[in-house]
Amino acid sequence: MSLDLVVLVPDKDIEQAVDGILARHQSLRIRPDTSHRIVVHPNRDPGIYNTGHELLESFVGEARHALVVFDRAWDGAPAHDPVELAEHVARKCRRDWGDRARCVCIDPEVENWVWSDSPNIAAPLGWATRDELVEWLRARGLWPDGMPKPPDPKRAFEAATRHKQVVPSSAIFRKLAATVAIHRCQDPSFLALCNILRSWFPLQASGQAE
């Protein structure tokens, strides 16, 4: 097989986030020679939910593993439970892939991966420091005291970038993936993604994490 991994995603934001994460093999603790291809579904999240398994069929003989990553929150989603949505897609993929395919559903959207305690989240969003960014969001009720993340991560992301006149783009997610320490993000879907990759492509015992 020519590929270790094919990843199916609904948009460029998740594509850039996943590609950036895979590039940090030492921090992620996976093999440095892991080959991958990321495919963006033309019909975004609904397309992945309904026909993602069909798009992946052509890669069954080309890739050793298939990973599907998509958002929970989209118009027309048949469930609010990310586990239920992920299992629906995974069940369809298993028809062709068996145990070589896994699915991760981000709750609610990929912006939830942005918000961590890392100081490196500030610069890609246009802010000088994380403290300044957090205080600005709190002053506007977008990040209540005592909460580890904004309750509406996408709204907070869009407000923060708009205030600094930073045009939201997939490049921001690539920058965040390249600079924020892997262990800083404790989102369940992100942790699931990392654990899947580590189980499939473990770093050699002699490797050192960043």
Instruction: Give domain limits for the chain.
Output: 3-110+172-200, 112-168
Contact between 102 and 69 (Cβ < 8 Å): no
| Beta-bridge partner residues of 104 | 69
Q: Provide the residue-wise pLDDT of the chain in tens; the chain has 210 residues.
A: 899 999 999 999 999 999 999 999 999 999 999 999 999 999 999 999 999 999 999 999 999 999 999 999 999 999 999 999 999 999 999 999 999 999 999 999 999 999 999 999 999 999 999 999 999 999 999 999 999 999 999 999 999 999 999 998 999 999 999 999 999 999 999 999 999 999 999 987 444 444
pLDDT of residue 203: 83
Hey, what are 38's tokens? 């990321």
Architecture of the domain delimited by 3-110+172-200: 3-Layer(aba) Sandwich (3.40)
Count Cβ atoms below 10 Å from residue 9 Cβ, excluding itself. 26
Contact between 128 and 91 (Cβ < 8 Å): no
Q: Report the C-alpha gap between 179 and 170 in whole angstroms.
A: 15
Count Cβ atoms below 10 Å from residue 10 Cβ, excluding itself. 26
- Give residue for tokens 């890392």: 118
Contacts of 16 (CB under 8 A, 6+ apart): 170, 171, 173, 174, 177
